[in-house]
Amino acid sequence: MGAAGPYAVTVEAGGSAHTVYRPTRFCGAHPVIIWGNGTFGKPSSYDGLLKHLASHGFIVAAANTGWAGSGREMLAGLDYLTRRNGTAGDAYAGHVDVTRVGATGHSQGGGGAIAAAADARVDTTVPVEPGPQGSVAALHGPVFFLAGENDGIVNPDTLVYPRFKQVGHVPAVYGELAGAGHFTPVGNGGGFRGPITAWFRAELLADAAARAEFTGPDCGYCAAPMWSRFERNALVG
């Protein structure tokens, strides 16, 4: 899932508060991913990763702020796309599937993704090396926690893995990328790019091959050497 998808990508302003990464040519209605940057970050800091997700058919609304920890800034991107989707004659009209929505982000934005996922419109969440923001008890859909083995800012053992272990009410997966530091996701996502894409393809596109990476007794990622730790809770199939 680390390879580019089939769609050419367009990057454009989503009003003043967001940058939208989307398929250049829409093909039906596309699922939405809302994105939150790390502290002091901006969408261009993660340009390769966000373009990659759009190439797989997602419309990505990235908040133009390095302070997305409340989740509100990310949800405003969903509001923006919802308005455009419902405006007759708009280029986005009928092409945004607001019934399939994921939230993800890095560091403070990862915490913001957890906070945003308390909103009933968000179906699934991928916090990447997340800050402490948001309540995992408020998650109402599947979650994939990502950590970096060598992250000296968001320590996986004290700040990410314990939050995964607190989740018993929805399916939850924990992936700790071997050798990864805190800034590994910057740019094109590094080794996180493929797993993030696989999760959203599984949850938002019903991609059976992607789902097999996470589910079943012989899941593709279960014993993959890319992880220093990989665990699933009892609700994962």
User: What does the pLDDT read at residue 72?
Assistant: 98
- Chain centroid offset of residue 200 CA: 7
1 confidence band (pLDDT: 50, 70, 90): confident
Where does 79-209 show beta strands of DSSP type E? 96-106, 124-128, 143-148, 172-177
Amino acid at 168: G
Q: Each residue of 182-222: pLDDT tens digit? A: 999 999 999 999 999 999 999 999 999 999 999 999 999 99
What is the C-alpha separation between 180 and 164, in angstroms, rounded? 18
231 confidence band (pLDDT: 50, 70, 90): very high
Q: Each residue of 121-179: pLDDT tens digit? A: 999 999 999 999 999 999 999 999 999 999 999 999 999 999 999 999 999 999 999 99
User: What does the pLDDT read at residue 34?
Assistant: 98
Q: Each residue of 8-51: pLDDT tens digit? A: 999 999 999 999 999 999 999 999 999 999 999 999 999 999 99
Q: Each residue of 78-127: pLDDT tens digit? A: 999 999 999 999 999 999 999 999 999 999 999 999 999 999 999 999 99
CA atoms within 13 A on the CB side of 95: 17
User: What does the pLDDT read at residue 237?
Assistant: 85
Q: Each residue of 69-85: pLDDT tens digit? A: 999 999 999 999 999 99
What is the C-alpha separation between 91 and 115, in angstroms, rounded? 30
How many other C-beta atoms can be found within 10 angstroms of the C-beta atom of residue 40?
11
Where does the chain show beta strands of DSSP type E? 9-14, 18-23, 30-36, 59-63, 96-106, 124-128, 143-148, 172-177, 227-232
Q: Is the pLDDT of residue 2 over 90?
A: no
pTM of this structure: 0.97
The structural domains of the chain, ordered by start, are 9-232 (3.40.50.1820)
